[in-house]
Amino acid sequence: MGRKPDPEVRPAILEQAEHLIHLRGYHATSMDDIARACKTTKANLFHHFGSKEELVLAVLDWKSDLYRQGRVQPLCEQGDPVKAVDRMFEEAGRFYGGNGCKAGCFVANMASEMADVNEHFRLRVSRFFKDWADGMADCLKRAQKAGLFGPTLQPQAAAEAIVSLYEGAILLARARRDPSIFRRVGRVARSVLEQHQNNRRIKTMGPKTPCGC
């Protein structure tokens, strides 16, 4: 029997693979490139992952988990969807401004490059964006039920609009190298909710309802 893959090595491989593919794209990054970045051999990569596709799908899953743990859940704990959306765009402006608005969103990059040529990738990125929008819609439904928003709010449509504005802002900021786009687009995203707000405010809706990525 062959030796079992070391679970402590996998995260390092995923991190290096994500970094290279985020900068270069899927097709322009080879297993040899990833092996060199990991300071290991290609044979060792195949010991942990059966193929390049398997490795990059694992990167997508890992990246999605990081987003949920590090960026989605902390925003949800605010309880106010309008403030959560505001903060989401503010943090994006700081993050992308700090790296020169380069690379863009890893998951969106995978969607753009691979969704039309590989159904496994399409399904994986589709699930990521669906989970994000559905989580935000649940947050908005709870807020609506609690009285923060009036009956004119359509939670699912509003959530999908905000996700689209966020991802579009990343793309535009990347093309123009201009992080101020997040501030302007963030105001529009906020207005998607503000126009449906009731005058009566609520203190909290409870923790951990996904409001942003």
What is the per-residue pLDDT across 16-39, written as a single tens digit (0 to 9) for each?
999 999 999 999 999 999 999 999
What is the per-residue pLDDT across 62-72, written as a single tens digit (0 to 9) for each?
888 877 665 55
* CATH code of the domain containing 41: 1.10.10.60
Whether 88 and 189 share a structural domain = yes
Whether 41 and 84 share a structural domain = no
Whether 72 and 135 share a structural domain = yes
In a domain? residue 208: no
In a domain? residue 59: no
- HSE-CB for 167 with a 13 A CA cutoff: 18
Whether 44 and 70 share a structural domain = no
Distance of CA 17 to the CA centre of its chain: 17
In a domain? residue 213: no
Whether 20 and 100 share a structural domain = no
Whether 46 and 71 share a structural domain = no
The kind and range of the H/E element at 83 are helix 81-98
The answer to whether 2 and 46 have CB atoms below 8 angstroms apart is no
The answer to whether 162 and 139 have CB atoms below 8 angstroms apart is no
Domain that holds residue 93: 64-194
Of 209 and 92, the one with more pLDDT: 92
* Angle at the Cα of 55 from the Cα atoms of 51 and 60, rounded to 5 degrees: 145
Q: Is the pLDDT of residue 203 over 90?
A: no
Rounded distance between C-alpha atoms, residue 8 and residue 13, angstroms: 10
Of 35 and 201, the one with more pLDDT: 35
Whether 110 and 181 share a structural domain = yes
In a domain? residue 174: yes
Whether 107 and 146 share a structural domain = yes
